[in-house]
Amino acid sequence: MTNVLSDEDVPLSQRKATATGKISETAKKRKRVTVKNERSISDSDDQIPLKKKRATKTAVVATKTQPSGKKIKTEEKLSKSPASAKTSPAKANGKSKKVNNVAKQTTEPDSDIDEKPLAKRKVKKTVSKTDGDDTSTQEKEEEELYKWWESESNDGSVKWNSLVHNGVLFPPPYEPLPAHVKLKYKGVPVVLPLEAEEVAGFFGAMLETDHAKNEVFQSNFFDDFKEVLNKCGGSHLKIEKFEHCDFTDIFNHYEEKRLQKKVMSTAEKKRVKDEKDKLEENYKVCYLDGRKELVGNFRIEPPGLFRGRGSHPKTGKLKERVMPEQVTINIGSNTPIPQPPDGHDWAEVKHDNTVSWLATWKENINGAQKYVFLAANSSLKGMSDYKKFEKARELKHHITRIRKDYTKELKDELMANRQRATAMYLIDVLALRAGGEKGEDEADTVGCCSLRYEHVSFKPPNTVVFDFLGKDSIRFYQEVEIDPQVYKNLKLFKKAPKKIGDQLFDRLDPPTLNRHLQNYMPGLTAKVFRTYNASKTMQDQLAKIENKGTVNEKYVAYNAANRTVAILCNHQRTVSKAHEQSVGKIEDKILEIKLQRYRLKIMVAQLDPKMKKSDPEYFQPDPELDDATMGRLIDQIIQREKDKVTKKFQKENEKRAAEKEEALSESELKTRMKVVETLEAEYKKERKTGKAEIKNGMTVEKVQAQIEKLNERIVNTTLQLKDKEDNSTVALTTSKINYIDPRLTVMFSKRYNVPIEKLFSKTLREKFKWAIESADENWTF
C-alpha cells in the first residue's frame, strides 16, 4: 500500500501556498481521508529533508491623507478642539503597506496584542458626548484622571473618536567640532564634510567604551563611515583602513564637554532644564476624545551608532538621522495638522482611529517601524494592559483541557501534531517564547518554533539541555528534567538526516501554532501562556509568604517571589560594573552602624560598670571591627562629613551668585568645618583611651534604646544587601511590568501591609493606577 503524507505531515517549506492563505475544501477533505492511510510514526522513523520556511504575508490597511494645516501652538488651542469631532475611519487603498500594521512594536515590545491590529474588527462604535460649550467643566475633566476601568464602553477596536497633538520633536542639528579638533589619518589632521565629521564624532565620543573596542562594531562603523565619505565627496585624504584612524582629539573634546556639564552650577543646570522643558512643552500632551493625556516617546531618535544587545551582527552601524519626509502622522480628522520643520513635509498624514500611535517611521538598521504612543499611564495603554492580563486570566478556564489535549498528542501519529504538542509543552512548562525565522543580517535569536539541531542535547534518562540565544541575545541555558515522551520526541526531531543548522520543528511555525490555539479561546496566542504562567507562579509564590515580620522582611520575600518569575521567563542580566562597588558601599554602611553600636555599648559600660562584668562578651566589638577597619571607617565618616559641609557651602554661594548677593567667605567655611574637626578629635580620643564622651542627661535606658534602633538598621541593611546580591543577575522589573498581573502586587501590598511605594516605583504607580484602585486584599488571578 502506498504511504500518503497528509498536508499536516509535510514540512511547512514544502506545502503549496494558496492565494488567501487558507486551506481549500478539497485540501480539507484530502486531509481527513489520508489520515487513515498514513503509516504510524515510530521513534525510529526517518524525517523528511528540511528547507527554509516560506514567509507569510499579512494584509494591512492604509488611510486617506489630509492636507496640512496650521501647527497647534499652545495647550489652550489644543483644548478647544471639540471632543465629539467626527473622525473618518481608515479606508483600505492598498498603499503604505506597513504603516498600519503595528505587528512589530519596537518602542513598546510587550504591549498588548490589541495595540497591534493586523486587521480591523467590526465593533459597535460608542461615542461619549461632551458638552463643548462648557469650557470650565472640560478643563476640570482634563485635569482629573479618567477612570476608564469604571467605564462600560472600553472593549472595541476603535481607540478614539478625536485626537489632537503637536507631532514629534526632532533632535537638534549637528554642532560642528571646533576648528582645532580633527580626525587624524596616519597622523595627519583630516578636514571632513560635516556629514562625515558627525559620524566620526559618534565613534570618537565612545572611544573608551567596550563597544568601540569590539571588532564587529569597528568594522560596521567603518563601512558606513566610508559610505558617508563617498556620498559627501570624501576628504583630501583617501581613508581606507580603520587602524590608521586616530579619534583621540575627538574623544578628548567630548570628554571635556562631559566634564563641563558635570561641574555646572545649580543655576546653570536649572537654566538648561528650563530651556529643555520649554522646547518640549507642546509635545508632551495630546487630547484624546477631549481628555488631556501625556504622550510617551514624543522625541524622534537622534542619529548615532547602533549598539544592539548581545552579539548583534549589526552593532556599530550608522543610525541615520530621521527626516520629516520619513514620518507618518496619525491624527483626528477636522483638526489642525502639526507643521513639519521649515522646508519639509510629512511622509503621510492618516486619520486611523483603530490604532493608538500618533506617529511612525522606519529605522534604517533593521527596517523596523518605530512608533510614538501615549504615555504608560494613559487610558489607552492602561486599557491595553488590562485586556492583556484579563486575557491571561481567561486562560485558566481552558488550561486543563489544553494540557490534556497536548499531552495526548505527544504520541500522535501525525508528525505535525506531535511537533505542535511538544512545542506547546515547552511553551507552557518552560515559558519559552514562540520564536520565528530570522534573516541572515539579524541577530541569531530563537524561540521554541525556531529551535535548531544544535540548541538541544540530551542526558538520559529524561534531562534535556537547552542552550541558545533568546530575545535581546540573552543566553537561555537550562538543564531540565522533562516529560519522558517529550524527551523521546525531541530525540526523534533530531534524528538523521537532520544536522547542525536544521530546525527541530520543521512542520510548525508561530502562525500555525497560534491558529490552533484560537480553537480553545478567542485571542489565545503562545504569548498569553507566558503572561498566564508568570502571574500564576507569582500568585503561588506570594501565597507561601507568612504575614509576619517587618515591612523590609516582607519586601525581600516579595522580591524572592518576583525573582522566581524572572528566572522562569529567563529575564537575566549581566552583573553591572558598578555592582561590586555598590555592594561594597552597603557592606561599609553595615560596618559603620556596627561601629556606632560599639561606641554606644562603651557608654553603657561606663554608665553601669556592673553590666560589663555580668556580660563581658556583649561589650566586645564585632569580629569584623578590627583596629585597622575601625580606623578606615572613621576616616571615611570624617571625609564624608567634610564633603557635606563643603558641598553645602558651594551650593549656598551658587545661589547667592544667582541672586547677585555677596559670596560667603572662606572663613565661614572654616567655621563650619570646626564641627567636623570636633567630631574627628572625639573619635581619636575614644580610640586612644577606650572611653566614650558621655553627654549630659545620658542614661543607660536612653543609650540602650539607641542600640535597639541601630540593631534594626543592621537587620534592614543586611536584608538590603542580600536582596541586591540575590538579584544581581536577574532583572525583576521586566516581569513586573509586562508579565505579572499588577493586581497581585496590589493584593500583596494591602494584605501584608507593605506600602505600595516600596513595591512600585512612581512610574509604575501611575502606569498601574487602574490596578491599585480596582484590586483589594482578596483579589486572585
Confidence of residue 490 (pLDDT cuts 50, 70, 90): very high
**For residue 579, what pLDDT is reported?**
85
Give the pLDDT score at 262. Answer: 86
Q: What is the pTM of this model?
A: 0.69
The answer to whether the beta carbons of residues 540 and 568 sit under 8 Å apart is no
Residues listed for the chain? 781
- Tell me the CATH number for domain 7-52+397-455+482-527: 3.90.15.10
Contact 700, 590 (CB under 8 A): no
The dihedral sign for the CA sequence 111, 114, 117, 118: positive
- Per-residue pLDDT of 60-82, as tens digits, reads 333 333 333 333 333 334 443 43
CA distance 694 to 771: 53
Helix (H, G, I), strand (E, B) or coil at 552: helix
More confident residue, 581 or 112: 581
Homologous superfamily of the 183-263 domain (CATH) = Yeast DNA topoisomerase - domain 1 (1.10.10.41)
The tens digit of pLDDT for each residue in 291-339 reads 999 999 999 999 999 998 777 889 999 999 999 999 999 999 989 999 9
Omega before 461 within 30 of 0, i.e. cis:
yes
Whether 495 contacts 444, CB under 8 Å:
no
Rounded Cα distance, 600 and 424, in Å: 62
Judge if 62-170+281-371 and 376-396+528-574+739-781 fold alike in CATH terms: no
Residue 203: the pLDDT is 97
- Considering only residues 377 and 214, tell me which one the structure prediction assigns the higher pLDDT: 214
Mean pLDDT of 385-405: 96
Least confident window among 325-334, 447-456, 647-656: 647-656
In terms of DSSP bridges, do strands 348-350 and 328-330 run parallel, antiparallel, or are they unpaired? parallel
Q: Is 511 exposed, middle or buried (0-12, 13-18, 19+ CB in 10 A)?
A: middle
C-alpha cell at 540: 503561588
- CATH code of the domain occupying 62-170+281-371: 2.170.11.10
DSSP letters, 194-238, are: HHHHHHHHHHHHTTTSTGGG-HHHHHHHHHHHHHHHHHHT--SS-
What single-letter amino acid sits at 311? S
313 preceded by a cis bond (ω within 30 of 0): no
Bigger pLDDT: 73 or 625? 625
541-562 pLDDT per residue, tens: 999 999 999 999 999 999 999 9
Closest CA to 779 of 748, 752, 753: 748
CA distance 618 to 598: 9
pLDDT of residue 647 exceeding 50, the answer is yes
- Reported as a single tens digit per residue, the pLDDT across 124-163 is 333 333 344 444 444 444 445 555 555 544 445 788 999 9
Spatial CA neighbour of 57 closest among 85, 116, 98: 98
Query: 3-state class of 80 per DSSP?
Result: coil
Encode pLDDT of 471-485 as tens digits: 877 889 999 999 999
Peptide bond just before 173 cis, omega within 30 deg:
no
Worst-scoring range by mean pLDDT, 203-212, 334-343, 469-478? Answer: 469-478
Whether 739 sits among the annotated catalytic residues: the reply is yes
Output DSSP code: residue 299. B
H or E stretch at 684: helix 666-689
Distance CA 694, CA 410 (A): 77
Do the Cβ atoms of 85 and 334 come closer than 8 Å? yes
At 584 the three-state DSSP class reads helix
Largest CA distance in the chain: 106
The amino acid at 3? N
Q: What is the percent of the chain with per-residue pLDDT over 70, rounded to a whole number?
A: 79
Q: What is the pLDDT of residue 101?
A: 34
The string of pLDDT tens digits covering residues 173-200 is 999 999 999 999 999 999 999 999 999 9
* Distance in Å from the first CA to the final CA of the chain: 54
Q: Which amino acid is at 447?
A: G
**C-alpha pair distances (Å), 515 with each of 333, 423, 518, 523, 558:** 36, 14, 5, 9, 37
What does residue 587 show for φ and ψ, rounded to 5 degrees?
-60, -40
CATH number of 376-396+528-574+739-781: 1.10.132.10
Cα–Cα distance list, 21 to 104, 268, 504, 581, 677 (Å): 21, 62, 24, 57, 82
- Give the position of cell 472595541: 156
Whether the predicted pLDDT of 208 surpasses 60: yes
> What is the per-residue pLDDT across 693-730, written as a single tens digit (0 to 9) for each?
888 888 999 999 999 999 999 999 999 898 888 888 88
Alpha helix ranges (H) inside 460-550 = 484-493, 510-517, 526-543
Cell of 377: 499611564
Cβ atoms 81, 346 nearer than 8 A: no
The grid coordinates of residue 294 equal 501625556
Three-state DSSP at 543 gives: helix
User: What is the structure's pLDDT at 132?
Assistant: 40
> In the beta sheet, which residues pair with residue 476?
468
- Tens of pLDDT, residue by residue over 748-770, are 999 999 999 999 999 999 999 99
- Which position has the grid cell 465593533? 123
Domain ranges of the chain: 7-52+397-455+482-527, 62-170+281-371, 183-263, 376-396+528-574+739-781, 581-656+664-718
**What is the spatial distance between Cα 530 and Cα 463, in angstroms, rounded to a whole number?**
22
Cα dist. 355→114, 324, 358, 523, 687 in Å? 9, 21, 9, 18, 70
Output b/e per residue, 179-198; b: 16+ Cβ within 10 A.
Answer: eebbbbbeeeebebeeebbb
Q: What is the mean pLDDT of residues 496-522?
A: 94
Q: Which of 185, 487, 558, 739 is catalytic?
A: 739
Average pLDDT score over the chain: 81
pLDDT of residue 726: 86
